[in-house]
Structure 1
Amino acid sequence: MDFPRITERISNRKAKEIYELIRRQRTVSKTDLLDASGMTVSTLTRLLEELVSQGLILESGFGISTGGRRPILYEMNSTYAYVFGLEISRTLSRLVLVDLAMNPVESYSWAMTAEMTPELLIGLIAQEAERMLQTHDISKEIVLGLGIGAVGPLDRMAGIILEPSYFPAPGWNHVEISQALEQRLGVEVLLDNGANTALLAESWMNRSQSFKHLLYIHIGIGLRSSMVSEGKVIYGAVDMEGSVGQMIIQTDGVPHRDASGNYGALESYASLYAVEKAARSALKQGRSTLLSQLVEDPEQLKYQHVLEAVNKNDPLAVEIMTSAATYFGIGLANLLNILHPEKVILGGPLIRNNDLFFQTATQTAIRKTYYYPTYQVVFSKGNLGEEALAIGAAVMMMDQLVKA
C-alpha cells in the first residue's frame, strides 16, 4: 500500500535538525537554537518560519532577556499529528493512541488467550483503532501511522513476526503483521522488538537528562533485552532480543524447557516459568504454605498466586521469589560488567507490583559488579509502567519525522 512518506513531511535535513532540537526539549529559545545548530540567523529564521507554517512547531511566548530583546520561545506542536502504538506480547496485547508529546488519548488491551490467533487479534486491533479515531474526532489524515513492539524473533524490515515461543494460541509463526495492519487501517506500519520499543519510550521520557547508555530488560515468560547508546537502539547482526535468557549461569544446571536451550540458562531460574515451576514443585512436596489455600491442583498454580502469597509474607513464596531474584541479579551483574550502562530499566510481569524481586535483584547485581562503587549505575522500574512497550512503538513511528 502506498502512503505519503512520514520522512518527507519535513522538507530538508536542516529543518529536521531544528525540529529534532525542539522536540527533545519542552521549550527552547531561538538563541539556544542558534548556539546548538551553528546556523546563521537568516537560515534559522527561515527554517523556523517553515516549521511554524506547517504546524509542526508553535511560538510559545518569550524567554528572559539577557540584554536586548526577549528571545522567542518555540515548542513542538503535540497535536500536529497522532500515532498508534501496539504491543504484542505473550500474555497481553495493548493498543494506545497518543499525540506527538506521547500524551495518551486512549488505551485498550486484550488477553492473549489460547483463542487469540493472529487473524482474530488483527481484526480486533483494526476495529478498536477505528473506534478510537471516531470517538476522539481524529481524522486518519493526521495519523502518522502505527508502530508495533512485538515478541521476537522478527524480520523488522519486512514486518514479519518469525517464530516466537510460548504463545498460547496457534498460528504465530511467520505472521506478516505489518502488511496485514496496513491493509486493514490504511496507515504506515513499522515493526520492532518490544524490548527495543520499551527502551525507546523510557529514553524519550529521559530525553532532558544526561543518560547516554541505557539498558532495558523485560522479565516475563522469557527474558528480553535492549540497549540504547547516544539515543540510538543498538542492533546486532540478527534479531536476538531473547538471547539474554540463554545466558549460562550454571554450566551443569537444570535443562531448559526447550531442547535447543542451554543447560543452566538464566531464564530457567528467573522468569514466570521458573517461579511457577518452583512453586508447583513445592506444593507437590507438601510444603507448608499459603499457596495450598489458593489452588487445589498444583498444576493450576500461576504467578499471580505466588505474588499474592508474597504480599502476605508467606515464607515459602518469599523464598521462591527471593531465589529467582537472586539468580536474575547474578545475570544482571554479568551484563553490567560487560556493557557498563549508566541506567538499567527493568520491566515486565516479574517487576510490576513486586518490590521484593526488584530490590533483591538490584542489590545482588550491585554486590557482584566489578569496580563498584567507582562505577555507579541507576536502577529503575521506568516511568511508563505496563504501557512502555506500546508507547515506545509510537515513539518509533514519530522518530520517522526526522529520519533522512
Structure 2
Amino acid sequence: MATSPIWASRPKTRGLVLDLIRAARAISRVELATATGLTGATISEVVRELMGDGLVVEAGRGAPTGGKPRTLVQLNPSARYSVGVQLERNTCVIVVVDLAGRQVARTSFQGVASLPPQQALPLLAAQVDALLTTAAVDRGKVLGVGLVSYGPQDRRAGVLLTPQPTDQWLDYPVAGRLAEGLGLPVLLDNDAAAAAIGEYWMGAVDPRSTYGCIYMATGIGGGVVVAGEVYRGSSSNSVEIGHISIDVNGAECPCGNVGCLENYAGPSALVREAVATPGLAQRLALDPSAADFLTEFARLAAAANAGDRDARDLIERSARYLGSAAVTMASLFDVDVIVLAGPSFAVAGSIYQAVIQQEVDRRMFARRAHPVRVVPSVNGSDAAAIGGAVLVLQSELTLGHARPEDGARPVPASTSTAP
C-alpha cells in the first residue's frame, strides 16, 4: 500500500474516495471533491495515489457541461481479488471476486463441516488453491479470504463459539489455521452479515440507506447495514433473528432460548413437518433420516412452486413466521429495505417475498412514515460467499483496515490463536 502523508494521517480518506468511485462506476475528480468536501488538490493527490497502486484507471471524458469535458476515473477490477468461503453445516461454497465484487470463479462441495476441523480445513485450503489456479488469478493480487459461517463466533480470535456440527469445532481457531494453510490473511464473519454487505458493494441498495437482510440456509440469520457498514453490536453477534422467541411457551432451543423462530420457520423444521404429513413425504420421496436439510427442503419448495397444496401450506406458514421477524427487524432498526438472501430463499423466494411483504405492509409500526420493500438478493444462493469476499475488499481497501472498535483485522497467515 502507498504511504503518502494523506494515507498516513487520514487513513479513511483513501478508502472514502475509493468507495465513491466504486459506487459511481465512473466519476470525475470535481465530483469527488463535491461529494467528499475535500479540496481539489487533496482529491487529485489521492486519485494519483490510487492510480499508482493500479486500483483506479482513467475512463475517458464525461458529458460536456459548458466547459472542458471532465476526465472520469473508475475502478480497475483486475487490480485486486478476494476469496469468499461459505462454510455451511452440509455444504461449502467458494467464490473468487474481483475488485468490483464480480464473481470470476466458483466451486461447491459437500461434507467438509461434518469432518473434524483438523481434517476439514486442509481440504478447504486445497480447494481454494485449486480454484485460484483454475481461474488464473495472480496470488499476489489476492487480498485475503473471507470465511463466513453461522454464529455465535469471536471474530477477533477467529473462532466459532458453537459446537456445531460437532463439539470439535467449538473454540477451534478456524481463521488462523486456514490462514496458515493458504498463506493468506483470513477474516471470519457471520454469513448473514456477509450477505447483507454484499448487496451494498454490488450497488443493489442506496448507499445512504439503512437496510436489513434475512439470510436462510440450513438456519436463519439476520444482518443490518447502516450507510455501508454492518451493524455489529458489542461482539458482532447481532441481529440473530433466527433465535428471537416467537413462543414463550415453546420448546427449549439448543441456543438456550425457548420458542426460537428457526425451530418454527427454518428448513430443518419444515422438512420434519413434511415427513410427518401423511402422503407428502412419499410424494416428494423425502428421506426421514437425511442430515442434508437443504436438499430435502429444495424438494419441498419445488413442490410448493408446482402447486402441491400441502407443501405450499408449509412454506406459507414458514413465510408468515418470517414476516413476523421482518416486522420486528423493521421496527427495531427502521429499515428501508429487507433483502432475502441464501440458498433456501433461492428455491422458494417468490412465495416468501410475497407473504413477508404482506406482513410488513400490514403490521410495521412506521408504515405510515415510509414503505419497506422486501426484495430478493442480487447474489442469489451464493450471497454469503460473495459477501465474505466483499468484507475482505471493504476491510482492506475502503475502511483502511478494520478499526478496533469495528471488529477484527484479518488473521495474518503467520498467526495462530490457539494450539
Would the TM-score normalized by the shorter structure come out above 0.5? yes
Q: 1:361 to 1:121 in 2, by over 3 A?
A: same
Tell me by how many angstroms 1:323 deviates. 1.7
Q: 1:43 to 1:221 in 2, by over 3 A?
A: closer
Give the stretch that moved more between structures: 213-222 or 77-86.
Answer: 213-222
**Partner residue in 1 for 2:34:** 35
User: How many Å separate the matches in 2 of 1:358 and 1:101?
Assistant: 28
User: Structure 1 residue aligned with 2:268, among 260, 268, 273?
Assistant: 273
**Partner residue in 1 for 2:206:** 209
Q: 1:333 to 1:37 in 2, by over 3 A?
A: closer
Which one-letter code corresponds to 2:326 in the other structure? L
Alignment deviations for residues 64-92 of structure 1 (CA, whole Å, 9 cap, x no partner) = 22222211110111111111111112231
User: Following superposition of structure 1 onto structure 2, how do residues 353-372 of structure 1 map, counting pairs within 5 Å?
Assistant: 353-354=347-348, 355-372=350-367
Whether 1:351 aligns to 2:345 is: yes
User: How many Å separate the matches in 2 of 1:158 and 1:240?
Assistant: 14
Fraction of identical pairs, as percent = 27
How many residues are matched? 390
Q: 1:194 to 1:8 in 2, by over 3 A?
A: farther
Which one-letter code corresponds to 2:33 in the other structure? L
User: Following superposition of structure 1 onto structure 2, how do residues 51-66 of structure 1 map, counting pairs within 5 Å?
Assistant: 51-66=50-65
Tell me by how many angstroms 1:8 deviates. 6.5
Alignment deviations for residues 98-154 of structure 1 (CA, whole Å, 9 cap, x no partner) = 110112121111223674332333122221222233333333221111111111111
User: How many Å separate the matches in 2 of 1:319 and 1:348?
Assistant: 21
User: Structure 2 residue aligned with 1:185, among 172, 177, 182?
Assistant: 182
**Partner residue in 1 for 2:101:** 102
User: How many Å separate the matches in 2 of 1:23 and 1:113?
Assistant: 35
**Partner residue in 1 for 2:133:** 134
SS in 1 for 2:201: helix
User: Structure 2 residue aligned with 1:255, among 246, 251, 254?
Assistant: 251
**Partner residue in 2 for 1:382:** 377
| Contact kept? 1:193, 1:241, Cα under 8 Å | no
SS in 2 for 1:79: helix
| Contact kept? 1:224, 1:241, Cα under 8 Å | no
Whether 1:162 aligns to 2:158 is: no
Question: Which blocks of at least 5 consecutive residues in structure 2 are unaligned?
Answer: 401-419
Q: 1:175 to 1:16 in 2, by over 3 A?
A: same
SS in 2 for 1:24: helix
**Partner residue in 2 for 1:144:** 143
User: How many Å separate the matches in 2 of 1:305 and 1:148?
Assistant: 28
User: How many Å separate the matches in 2 of 1:259 and 1:152?
Assistant: 10
Question: Which blocks of at least 5 consecutive residues in structure 1 are unaligned?
Answer: 1-5
Q: 1:26 to 1:116 in 2, by over 3 A?
A: same
Which one-letter code corresponds to 1:88 in the other structure? L
Tell me by how many angstroms 1:306 deviates. 2.1
TM-score of the pair, normalised by structure 1: 0.88
**Partner residue in 2 for 1:291:** 281
Q: 1:317 to 1:256 in 2, by over 3 A?
A: farther
User: Over aligned residues, Cα RMSD in angstroms?
Assistant: 2.5
Which one-letter code corresponds to 2:22 in the other structure? R
User: How many Å separate the matches in 2 of 1:7 and 1:313?
Assistant: 59
SS in 2 for 1:65: coil
User: How many Å separate the matches in 2 of 1:259 and 1:35?
Assistant: 49
User: How many Å separate the matches in 1 of 2:287 and 2:378?
Assistant: 38
Tell me by how many angstroms 1:242 deviates. 7.0
Q: 1:314 to 1:50 in 2, by over 3 A?
A: closer
Q: 1:77 to 1:115 in 2, by over 3 A?
A: same
User: How many Å separate the matches in 1 of 2:391 and 2:2?
Assistant: 12
User: How many Å separate the matches in 2 of 1:305 and 1:208?
Assistant: 31
| Contact kept? 1:147, 1:393, Cα under 8 Å | yes
Alignment deviations for residues 199-219 of structure 1 (CA, whole Å, 9 cap, x no partner) = 110111236735510111112
User: How many Å separate the matches in 2 of 1:259 and 1:144?
Assistant: 34
Tell me by how many angstroms 1:49 deviates. 2.2
TM-score of the pair, normalised by structure 2: 0.85
| Contact kept? 2:83, 2:145, Cα under 8 Å | yes
Which one-letter code corresponds to 1:154 in the other structure? Q
User: How many Å separate the matches in 2 of 1:226 and 1:359?
Assistant: 20
**Partner residue in 2 for 1:49:** 48
Give the stretch that moved more between structures: 87-96 or 370-379.
Answer: 370-379
SS in 2 for 1:55: coil
User: How many Å separate the matches in 1 of 2:159 and 2:384?
Assistant: 18
SS in 2 for 1:215: strand
**Partner residue in 2 for 1:199:** 196
**Partner residue in 1 for 2:243:** 246
SS in 2 for 1:45: helix
User: Structure 1 residue aligned with 2:302, among 305, 308, 312?
Assistant: 308
Alignment deviations for residues 277-302 of structure 1 (CA, whole Å, 9 cap, x no partner) = 222222xxxx3x34323338655593
User: How many Å separate the matches in 2 of 1:227 and 1:292?
Assistant: 40
Alignment deviations for residues 328-362 of structure 1 (CA, whole Å, 9 cap, x no partner) = 21222222222221010112343122122332233
Structure label with greater radius of gyration: 1
Q: 1:251 to 1:43 in 2, by over 3 A?
A: closer
SS in 1 for 2:224: strand
Give the stretch that moved more between structures: 208-217 or 273-282.
Answer: 208-217
**Partner residue in 1 for 2:228:** 231
**Partner residue in 2 for 1:3:** none
User: How many Å separate the matches in 1 of 2:46 and 2:237?
Assistant: 41
User: Structure 2 residue aligned with 1:172, among 158, 165, 169?
Assistant: 169
User: Structure 2 residue aligned with 1:221, among 215, 218, 221?
Assistant: 218
Tell me by how many angstroms 1:234 deviates. 0.8
Which one-letter code corresponds to 2:36 in the other structure? S
Which one-letter code corresponds to 1:18 in the other structure? V
Tell me by how many angstroms 1:61 deviates. 0.7
| Contact kept? 1:221, 1:271, Cα under 8 Å | yes
**Partner residue in 2 for 1:391:** 386
